Structures are given as C-alpha cells and as structure tokens.
Amino acid sequence: MDFQLIIVLAIVLLAVPYAWSQIRAGWKSGDSNHHCDHCPANPETDSSDRKGRF
C-alpha cells in the first residue's frame, strides 16, 4: 500500500478519539468548573432551605 496512505489513515484514526475527547472536554468544562453553592439555586432541585432570595 502507498506509504502516504498509511500515514493518512493513522492520522485519521487518531483524530477520531481525539475529537471525541475534545467534545467531552467541552462538556466537562461547562459541567464541572466553577462550582457555586451560593448562587440563586433552582428551587425545584435545591434540597437546602436556601430557596430563592433571602
């Protein structure tokens, strides 16, 4: 098989899991960063007493 084609296939095969990991990283950056206990919380899912405003 063509030498260039082998390299290309290797790159493409590496790119697939890499792209997936990047998409997951994007998800995680939204989901886990900047945790905040103190912000106005969703009263429907906030189990503490601190609902809505003071």
Partner 1 sequence: MTGMKPISIALIGNPNSGKTAVFNQLTGLNQKVSNYPGITVEKKIGMGTFSDGRPFRILDLPGTYSLVPDSLDEQIVSEQTLNWSLDLDRPDVIVAVVDASNLRRNLLLVTQISDLGIPVILALNMADRVHHDISDDMLTGLENGLGLWKAIPLVAIKGKGFKELKAELQSVGEKTAVRLPVYAGLDKEAFHPLETWLTSELGFPRDWCRAQALRLVCKSGYSDLVRAQLEKIGHSAVENWTEFMSIRDSIRSQTPNWRSLPAGDAGKRYAHIDAVLTKIKWGSDDPLNRRSRSERADAWLTHPVLGPLIFVLLLVFIFQAIFSWAVVPMDWISQAMDWLNAGLHRGLPPGPLRDLLTDGILAGVGSIVVFLPQILILVFFLTLLEDSGYMARVAFMLDRFMSRMGLHGRSVLPLMSGYACAIPGIMATRTIDSWKERLITILILPLMSCSARLPVYALMIGAFIPNQKIGGIFGLQGLTLVSMYFLGTITALIMAKVFSRLIRKEKTSSFIMEMPPYRIPLMRSVGNQVILRGKLFLKNAGKIIMAVSIILWFLASYPKVDSGSGPVNNIERSFAGTLGHVIEPVIRPLGFDWKIGVGLVTSFAAREVLVSTLATMYNVADEQDDVLDLRTALRMDTDPATGKPRYSVLTALSLMVFFVFAAQCMATFAIVRHETNSWKWPLFMVTYLTVLAYLASLVVYQGGLRLGWG
Residue with tokens 């809505």: 52
Q: Tell me: does residue 52 bind partner 1 (CB under 8 A).
A: yes
Q: How many residues bind partner 1 (CB under 8 A)?
A: 39
Which residues contact residue 52 at a Cβ distance below 8 angstroms, ignoring those fewer than 6 apart?
40, 43
The two tokens of residue 28 are 């995680």
What is the phi/psi pair of residue 30, to 5°?
-80, -35
Q: Which of residues 20-39 bind partner 1 (CB under 8 A)?
A: 22-23, 26-32, 34, 36-39
Which residues would be at the binding site for partner 1 (CB under 8 A)? 2, 4-5, 7-8, 11-12, 15-16, 18-19, 22-23, 26-32, 34, 36-46, 48-54
